[in-house]
Amino acid sequence: MNKLKAVKGVIKKLLVILFIILGVLLISFVIHIHEINLENSMLREIDQESTATDVMIDIHPRGQVTDKWEKDNAFPNKIIYARIYEATVNNNSDGLMLDWSIRLNITEDCFLNNAWCGTVEVHQLINGTENVQTIDLRNYDEKDIELVHYVAGQDLLIPLSSGDYIVYHSDGTGVSGESPLGNSKNSSGQANVGLIMYSESGDVDFSDFKLDYYIKKSYLSGDDGFAFTVLFAAWLLLFMFSLVVSALVLHFEGRLYSRNRLVEESFRLCAAIADMKDPYIKNHSHRTAKYAKMIAEQMGMAKDDCENVYYVAMLHDIGNYFVAEQILRKSGSLSREEFEAIKNHTRKGAEMLEDMESLPHVVEGALYHHERYDGNGYPTGIKGDEIPLIARIISVADAFDAMNSDRAYRNRLQSESIKRELRDNSGSQFDPVIVGVFMEIIDKIQF
Ligand SMILES: [Fe+2]
C-alpha cells in the first residue's frame, strides 16, 4: 500500500511537471506560428546580384549559340532572328514557393513572340505612353491584343525597347506538375519556363531581371518544427505512460481495498462470534480494538504495528466461545468453578490462535490481556514489563469499554468515574504509562 502511495505521489508530480511542460510548449509553439506567419507573408526577391541559394534562377538561351532561326519577310527593310530563352527556377528552401514571377527588363530593341507555362504581363512604352497587358501567348485572339504589335505570317511580334519589361507569371505547368513550386527536399523543386524572342542580332540580353516570390513554410518544418514534433511526441509518450501507471495503481488499489475489507470483515465476524454469547457485550471486541489502536497511535507506534494491535485486540476474547453462555450471562455472584471457567477463556483463546502465524502477538493478546501490572492477574500472574506490551494496551482498552458499557448487573459508568477508576488502578491493574497515554485521548471517545 505504501509503495502504491509512493507511486501515486510520483505520478502526480510527473503529471504536474508534464502539464507545465505542455504549457511552455504551447506558448513556444504559438510564438513559433506567429514567426512563421510573418516569414510566410514576406515578399522576397532575387536579382542578378543575389547570391542566395535557397531559391535560384538561371535565364539562358536554349541550346547552342547557333540555335536561332531567321524570320522570313517579317519586315521589308530588316532581317530578324528568333531564339528560345528558358528560365530555370530552383526552390531549395524548406517551404513551398508561391506567387512567383520573373521581371525581365528589356535593354535593346526586340520582339516578344511567344511564352509558355504561364502568362506574360507586358509593359510597353510607346511615345511616352505605357501600354500594359497580360496575355497568355499560348491561347489568344489577335483582335484582343491592345499592345502595339505586328503579325508576320503566323507569328505575333510585340515590339519592345530599352525601358520596357515583361513580368512572367508561371501557371505551374512547367513546374514538374507542381503549383506552387515544391522544394528540392521533397520534390523536384524545379520549374522550367520559356519564351521566344526576335531581334536583329538573334540575341536578347536578359541579365537584368528580378524574381519575386513568397516562401510558405509548414509550422512543423525546419529545426524548430522538428524539435516541436519530437518534444510533443516525447510529451505524449510520457503522458500516456502516466495514464497507464495511474490506471494500474487504481486497479491495484481497488484490489487491495477489497482484500483489506475482506480481512476486516472476517476479523469482525470472529469477534462477533465470541461476543454474541452475551448480548451485553455486543461489539465489545470491535470497540476494544479501536481503543487499543488509538492508544498505539498515540504512543507513536508504526502504522503497521497499529494495524496489528487493532486486529490482535479484535480477537482478544475469542476464547469466550468455549465459556458456557449461562456463566457469561449470569448477573449474580459466580462460584469458584464458574470464575475458573471464565478465566480459562484466555488459555482457550491462545490455543485457538496458536497457529495463526500471519498476525504477530495474537496469542499474547488473547493469553495475557487479564494479567495485572502488579502481578495479581491471570492466567499466569506475570507482572510489569513481563506482560507483553500489546496485552497491556488491550487491558486498558478492554477495561475502558467494560466500564463504558451497560452490563446485566449495572449501567455504564459516568466518564469521570471511568477516568477515576483508570487512574486509581494505574500501576496496580494497569501499566501507568499506558493509562497516561490513554488519558490524553480519552476525551476523543464518545462516552
Ligand atoms: Fe477477556
pLDDT digits (tens, 9 = 90+) for 80-120: 999 999 999 999 988 889 889 999 999 999 999 999 888 99
Residue for cell digits 476494544? 288
Which residues, in sequence order, are bridge partners of residue 95?
Answer: 217
Selected residue with higher pLDDT from 327 and 187:
327
Cβ proximity of 52 and 210 under 8 Å? no
**CATH code linked to domain 43-217:** 2.60.40.290
Q: How far is the CA of 398 from the centre of ligand 1 (A)?
A: 7
- Give the best-scoring range by mean pLDDT among 50-54, 178-182, 186-190, 296-300: 296-300
Q: From the CA of 268, how far away is ligand 1's center (Å)?
A: 16
Model pLDDT, residue 131: 95
The Å distance, Cα 250 to ligand 1 centre, comes to 40
Q: Which of 262, 241, 236, 253 is nearest to 6 (CA)?
A: 253
Burial of 390 (0-12, 13-18, 19+ CB in 10 A): buried
Give the three-state DSSP class for 384.
Answer: helix
pLDDT by residue (tens digit) across 295-309? 999 999 999 999 999
Can you tell me the distance from the alpha carbon of 268 to that of 9, in angstroms, rounded to the nearest whole number?
A: 32
Q: Taking residues 141-153, what's their average pLDDT? A: 92
pTM given for the model? 0.57
Find all residues with CB under 8 Å of 23, minimum gap 6, and list them.
Answer: none
Residue 400's pLDDT is what? 96
Domains 43-217 and 256-444 share a fold: no
Chain mean pLDDT for the chain: 90
Ligand 1: distance of its center to the CA of 214 in Å?
93
Assign a CATH topology to domain 256-444.
Hypothetical protein af1432 (1.10.3210)
pLDDT at residue 116, as a whole number: 86
pLDDT computed for residue 176 by the predictor = 60
Cα 369 to middle of ligand 1, angstroms:
7
Residue 282 is predicted with a pLDDT of 83
The domain locations on the chain are 43-217, 256-444
Residue 187 has pLDDT above 90, yes or no: no
What is the Å distance from ligand 1's center to 260 Cα?
26
Listed range (99-108, 125-134, 181-190) with the worst mean pLDDT: 181-190
Cα angle 152-157-163, degrees, rounded to a multiple of 5: 155
Give the Cα separation of 97 and 78 in Å (integer): 42
Phi, psi (deg, nearest 5) at residue 132: -130, 130
Residue 357 has pLDDT above 70, yes or no: yes
Average pLDDT of the segment spanning 162-191 = 80
Per residue in 232-289, pLDDT (tens digit) is 999 999 999 999 999 998 998 888 888 888 988 998 898 888 788 776 778 899 999 9
Distance from the alpha carbon of residue 234 to the mean position of ligand 1, in angstroms? 62
CA dist., res. 107 & res. 151, Å (int):
23
Contact 56, 177 (CB under 8 A): no
Rounded to an integer, the average pLDDT of 69-76 is 84
What are the cell numbers at 61?
538561351
- Residue 317 Cα to ligand 1 middle (Å): 5
Q: What is the mean pLDDT of residues 116-129?
A: 92
What's the confidence (pLDDT) of residue 376?
96
Distance 196 CA to ligand 1 centre (A): 117
